[in-house]
Amino acid sequence: MSAFDKYLHAVILRATDEARADGSSTVDAQHLLLSLAADQGSTAQRLLASAGLDRGAVRTALDREFEHSLSLVGVAPAARDLPAASPAIQDPALGASAKLALERSFTTARKKDLRSAHLLLGILEARIGTVPRTLALAGVDRAELAQRAGRALEGGER
Amino acid sequence: MPAAENTLPPEPADSLAAVVALRRLADQLENAAVEQAMRAGWSWPQVSEALGVTRQAVHKKHAKRLIAAGVELRRRAD
């Protein structure tokens, strides 16, 4: 297993924990984003932090997008006050949005050249879906952040 | 329900995002509601009838989670 494979495995494991904590049966792109934001010391984490997105800020922004999208059809998330259900036993599987983000990451570089910022780029490339809506609501310029990730990679940062 | 709630948001992206959010909300609600019912002594047939799905479907979706959580499960509707 290459160093990047090990790194990717750790990112996906953390994303899987985020999905489980979220009560989600799938690991989605937003869980990968939470995982990267919690990945202290990586270029992806540093780029996100520079946009004000530490792990807690991403979680808050995701909750806001959830409530906002519900409000658009006249629904208030009463589930917020529900007793938390016991967690699922089965591991959430990679969902469509996470697969797409990973595929996009992998097409931007040769496998041996892949780094954390490629994963961030793959997530940021999505123009439609929960992640871009969350970033827009949080006032984060997705395209600009993607450009900075691209520049960090050209500069050879890990 | 007010009539306004029966119209879609003008942007398709907003309408589709609302579907995603509602599915998530429904999943959260189902997990909590099934657990509440089983803890209150409801049986699988009763819960499945209330949800309008098959017993197999509700069992497959929730049994492992509830057993692991230590919920005492009734097998029959008696």
Q: Is A153 helix (H, G, I), strand (E, B) or coil?
A: helix
Alpha-carbon distance of A122 to A115, in angstroms, equals 11
pLDDT given for residue A158 in this prediction: 57
Band (pLDDT 50/70/90 cuts) for residue B75 is low
What token pair was written down for A3? 């160093």
Alpha-carbon distance of A158 to A24, in angstroms, equals 31
> How far A116 CA sits from the closest chain B CA (Å)?
28
Name residue, tokens 């937003």.
A30
Where in the sequence is the domain holding A32, given as residue range(s)? 3-154
The residue in chain A having the minimum alpha-carbon distance to the alpha carbon of residue B70 is: A86
Under an 8 A CB cutoff, do B29 and A79 touch?
A: yes
| Chain A contact set for B1 (CB, 8 A) | 74
| Chain B contact for A84 (CB, 8 A cutoff) | yes
Summarised one tens digit per residue, pLDDT across range A91-106 is 899 999 999 999 999 9
Alpha-carbon distance of A101 to A129, in angstroms, equals 11
Band (pLDDT 50/70/90 cuts) for residue A87 is confident
Band (pLDDT 50/70/90 cuts) for residue A81 is low
How many Å separate Cα A5 from the centre of its chain? Answer: 18
E strand or H helix at A93: strand A93-94
How many Å separate Cα B50 from the centre of its chain? Answer: 10
CB distance A29 to A18 below 8 Å: no
Under an 8 A CB cutoff, do A66 and B22 touch?
A: no
pLDDT given for residue B78 in this prediction: 47
Under an 8 A CB cutoff, do A69 and B68 touch?
A: no
pLDDT given for residue B3 in this prediction: 47
CB distance A130 to A42 below 8 Å: no
Under an 8 A CB cutoff, do B17 and A130 touch?
A: yes
What is the residue-averaged pLDDT of chain A? 92
Selected residue with higher pLDDT from A79 and A4: A4
| Chain B contact set for A128 (CB, 8 A) | 13
pLDDT given for residue A17 in this prediction: 95
Residues in chain B, overall count: 78
Selected residue with higher pLDDT from B6 and A57: A57
Which of A25, A72, A83 faces B14 most closely, judged by CB atoms?
A: A72
pLDDT given for residue A157 in this prediction: 66
> How far A4 CA sits from the closest chain B CA (Å)?
32
Residue A90: pLDDT above 90?
no
Alpha-carbon distance of A91 to A93, in angstroms, equals 6
pLDDT given for residue B76 in this prediction: 56
CB distance A116 to A44 below 8 Å: yes
The residue in chain A having the minimum alpha-carbon distance to the alpha carbon of residue B61 is: A88
Mutation pick from B1, B28, B38 vs chain A, by most beta carbons of A within 10 Å, is: B28
Under an 8 A CB cutoff, do B25 and A77 touch?
A: yes
Summarised one tens digit per residue, pLDDT across range A137-148 is 999 999 999 999
ipTM score: 0.88
Alpha-carbon distance of A157 to A151, in angstroms, equals 9
pLDDT given for residue A139 in this prediction: 97
Summarised one tens digit per residue, pLDDT across range B17-71 is 999 999 999 998 999 999 999 999 999 999 999 999 999 999 999 999 899 888 8
Q: Is A141 helix (H, G, I), strand (E, B) or coil?
A: coil
Summarised one tens digit per residue, pLDDT across range A12-55 is 999 999 999 888 889 999 999 999 999 999 999 999 999 999 99
pLDDT given for residue A70 in this prediction: 95
Any residues with CB less than 8 A from the CB of B14 and at least 6 apart, and which? A69, A72
Selected residue with higher pLDDT from A121 and A76: A121
Which CATH number do you get for residue A100?
A: 1.10.1780.10
Alpha-carbon distance of A74 to A89, in angstroms, equals 33
Alpha-carbon distance of A132 to A50, in angstroms, equals 17
Under an 8 A CB cutoff, do B27 and A25 touch?
A: yes
CB distance A48 to A54 below 8 Å: yes
Number of structural domains (chain A) is: 1
Cα dihedral sign, A27-A98-A82-B54: negative
